[in-house]
Structure 1
Amino acid sequence: MTVARTVELEGHIIDSGTMGMCFGVVMDMGGEFEVEDFEVGRHKHAETYCRMRVMAESEDDLRAILHELNQQGATVADPRDATLENAPEDGVVPVDFYSTTNHPTYVRVDGEWVEIEDPEMDCALVVERADPEDPQGVGNADERRNGDGNTRVLTKVLNAVEEGDLVVTGETGIRVEPPERPRNGGGSFGFMQGGVSSERPSASLIEEIADEMREVRENDGNVLVVCGPAIVHSGGRDALADLVRAGFIDNLSAGNGFAVHDLERDLYGTSLGVDTESLEHPRKGHKHHIYTISEIARLGSIEAAVDEGIVDEGVMYECIDNDVPFVLAGSIRDDGPLPDTITDAIEAQDAIREQAHDADIVLMLSTLLHSVAVGNCLPSTTKTVCVDINPATVTQLLDRGSAQAIGMVTDIGTFIPMLRDELLEE
């Protein structure tokens, strides 16, 4: 027996390719569709509307198709409230829980569309009702809508879900709004405008990135930089330190390795045992990184090393000296690690997540794994810059789902000084 539901699409669905993708989803998954209404926007600011009936052989097949259409921004016509089920125990979600995208999303609760907080991919949605004495929302709807406490919908990673949490299940009552591409483009940070190219004129892109960073700074926004050790190895360290000192960096996220080699450069003049100026290999240079960790551990922290005058330059020094928060997330590969490095993976994720949610623009500089970790926590609307010498790295980072991302395939040791010069020019 054939089952069917009607869905609606609205916006710049032709320009962005959304309509074609939705047609393809239905056909690829064995369903059929019938367009019931189609109104094309007739000028560049006008939106297009499409209503179509989706048919499948079974309820399970239809549910799977509707899930994929939902991810593309399609909304079931005549929506009902979202289905909520209690989490059976800590860290366990109901079987049919809704797994999030990183796009702006709304959940229909008690007849009202509620925007989720901190969009992030691969999370559960948890509803916190306005009235804790009425957890199932039976009464007091008027009070909720009149401001006596507002119902909230939160993203939660699975390990943070607590027994009894009201978890959104199924596809009913959920509206996803992927960023669109209007006809007027939108510059390099516009949807799908940036792309990846090693032949793109670097100077013009760096100028635009600098303009974005200036605007964020002027509006009291937040710039997050994600750093890899190659910054130190390739000679970009001093330029990045200058940007921290000048107030253009508000948060720093890195692994143990970046901090170690930045500090090693200060203490021994080397990075990975190599003099970054002369490219010579000093005697015992291969041990400098572990000596560095030992010195910092002896003092207790990077901040203590700065206070003692042992560390007096570099990126980590400038972070301490200018009160720029940093998160150093450890991994199984780390030597030491430094006492400031967070070795608990869940604790490190939470710290990175807090940084990511506050960021208005993120610079991902020559570190694939750490950038992917940060990227997984970002909403699709956060402007993102990915820079790496390896084109595959930049492509993978941009494919994490940000709709406002540009990639540059270039030497990080060239990019950061150019960005520094652009931002600090008189």
Structure 2
Amino acid sequence: MSDQNKISTELLGLAEAFLQGKLNAAGSHRLEEIILSEVQYRQKFVEYVNMNSALSMMARQQSPDELFHESYYKRQNTWLKKERVTKLIAAATSVALVCCIGFVAFLIGNLPTPQIGYVAALSDGIEWSSPVLEQGDVVREGDVLKIESGYITIRTTLGAVVDVRGPSTLVMNEQQQFDLSHGLLKAVVPEAAKGFTVSTQDVQVVDLGTEFIVDRELGMGTKVSVRQGHVEANLIDINGTVLKTLDLYDGWSKWLDNGIEKEQDLAFHDEEFNSFDRFRGSVTRLQGCARASSVDLTELTPGAHVTKDHVLIIPERQQVSLTEPITVQTLEGLLQLKAGDLVSSYLVHFDPGKFNTKPPIGSVSFDYPVTAIIGSADEMLILDSVVGYEHATYPQFPARALELDVDGDKIHVSADRKTVKFNLDMLPPDNFDQFRILLVQQNQ
């Protein structure tokens, strides 16, 4: 098959994909490339899709060739008529080209923009100003995120993890470029996503391998804080021109304001970072009905925090260094923890109340392997004072535990031990459930 025939076959395949609504962004760009390369391909495409536009109207009239032959035989091929017909052919070709290019431009403009990531986690009770997103939803270039309260986590395809706390407005221009109109954003950026940039009206913050926060209040400038690593902060004027370039490292904070075109050092405080830690800890993804908590919970007894249509995943104390050995019964047998082991705990809390429309099925994934699941009331009680919230009130009754009979609660740990899947029994009377997920770094 000649190259020309191969291209013609490819063109028809792309045109067919378009007609079936299956043409993706890459296909549309290839279609445009072929159409613009030669007149014959433009003609083939126009004929195939049979556009209901100026071109189709022309097609119902005499063709340029018919006009030419009619002129030739009736007017004895005078140069005047030939010139007119030539102009008509040129005009028809031009119209065809314009229609074709315009149609392809319209097609490309209406295709989904490239995917840049997905929603990895949501808090309970999140309030939206933009269209509502669910966990697992794809986010694309140009999407605008507006939340009035609560938390959301976006994970980009290059692995950058972006947490946003409401009220915030965020424009996701492209995978490596987010614009924060106002609000609070934390980013953790791996080596693969180095160069990830967050811009506000005051500053461009370019990641150079780090964990940082950008906090902007309307009319109050922008605060940039680095917990670890290194960022480049560029103070910009109202036209986007860089006025000053600053390097920020571990434990540094800066305030920048383009209204007065100044920057100032600030004392570093961990509070904002800690608020995000309490939101999800080392959780990388929530699925199904799993949700993170948007507030610090100190009352975890029945009825105190009802979880209608969701199950809460609550980061408790993190990296607790044990002062003495502890032996606890887990779902997989006895676990012996030594003094000096670092323990991080996540409480799974289900208190459905009276009215629910969704089954309590979901999963939670972590950065690190899960060491154990604690599901008995007695073992939970032992750990309440060790890894639980310092001032929290926990249930003291046996029904707090998992019921792992045939028709009861079901818990499964993935083969790589980084994901815990659950399917909880929501039928009364024993439908209040709590269990703990422990991640342990053992003292060698």
* TM over 0.5, shorter chain: no
Bigger RCO of structures 1 and 2 (CA < 8 A, at least 6 apart): 1
Question: What's the TM-score once normalised by structure 1's chain length?
Answer: 0.24
Question: What's the TM-score once normalised by structure 2's chain length?
Answer: 0.23
Which structure carries more helix by proportion?
1
* Bigger Rg over Cα: 2
Which structure carries more strand by proportion?
2
